[in-house]
Amino acid sequence: MISNINDFIFCPVSIYFHNLYYELDKSTYQSTKQTQGTAVHESIDSKHNSTGKKTLYAIDIYSEKYGLEGKIDSYLVDCCELTERKKKIVTIYDGYVFQLFAEYYCMTEMGYPVKQLSLYSYDDNKKYTCRLPDDQPEMKKKFIDTLNEMRAFQMDLFKQANTAKCRRCIYEPACSFTDYDE
C-alpha cells in the first residue's frame, strides 16, 4: 500500500502495529496530532471540493509495474497536478516524496497525465512543488530501493537503532524492536 511507504521509512514495525490496532477505536492509541491529521483527510475522503476547479479526490489507484495500490489525495484535472496533503509540513521527508512518486506511477499507468507534483501543508496553507521522478534520478533510485526493501523486510531480524524515532512513536510502549533498554 502506498500509505505504508512513509511509515516503513519511519519504522517498518509501525506498519505491523498499525494493522494490529486497526480495528480498535483510534482514540485509544492515536496521538492528538494523528487525530488532527485524520480530520484533515476527511474532506478528501468524502470527495468534498471547495475550490470550484475540476478535481478528483480519493480515487483508487494501482500500478501493476510497481505492485502498488492506494488512493490519491487530489488531482487537478485542468493542470494535471497531483497533490498529497499533510497536516503540517516542517520538513519534506523522503517518505512524503516517495508517496507522491507512487501515486504518480499509478496515475500515469492508469492513463492520467501528471505534469506537476506537490505537497500541501494544511495548517499553514503552504504548497511545496516536487519534481517528477525522471527529473531527480537519485530519488527515483531511492524510491525503487525502498520498495524492494519493503518487499524483502523480515521483522524478526529488525532492530530499530534510531531511538529518537522510538521516542516519537505511538506504538513504542508495546514495541520490543528497539535497540535500547530503559
Q: What is the pLDDT of residues 47-79, one digit of tens each?
A: 555 556 799 999 999 999 999 999 999 999 999
179 located within any domain: no
What is the signed CA dihedral for 57, 45, 99, 178, rounded to 10 degrees?
180
* Mean of all residue pLDDT scores within the chain: 87
Lowest mean pLDDT among 21-25, 30-34, 54-58: 30-34
Cα atoms found within 13 Å of the Cα of residue 178, Cβ hemisphere only:
17
- Give the DSSP per-residue string, 22-40: TTS-GGGT--HHHHHHHHH
CATH number of residue 148's parent domain:
3.90.320
Q: How many domains does the chain have?
A: 1
The more confident residue out of 76 and 180 is 76
The CA distances from residue 119 to 85, 98, 130, 138, 164, in Å, are: 6, 11, 7, 19, 25
Per-residue pLDDT, 177: 75
| Residue 93 φ then ψ, to 5° | -80, 155
User: pLDDT tens-digit profile of 110-166?
Assistant: 999 999 999 999 999 999 999 999 999 999 999 999 999 999 999 999 988 888 888
Task: Identify the domain containing residue 170 by its residue range.
Answer: 4-174
Please provide the distance, in angstroms rounded to a whole number, between the alpha carbons at the two ends of the chain: 33
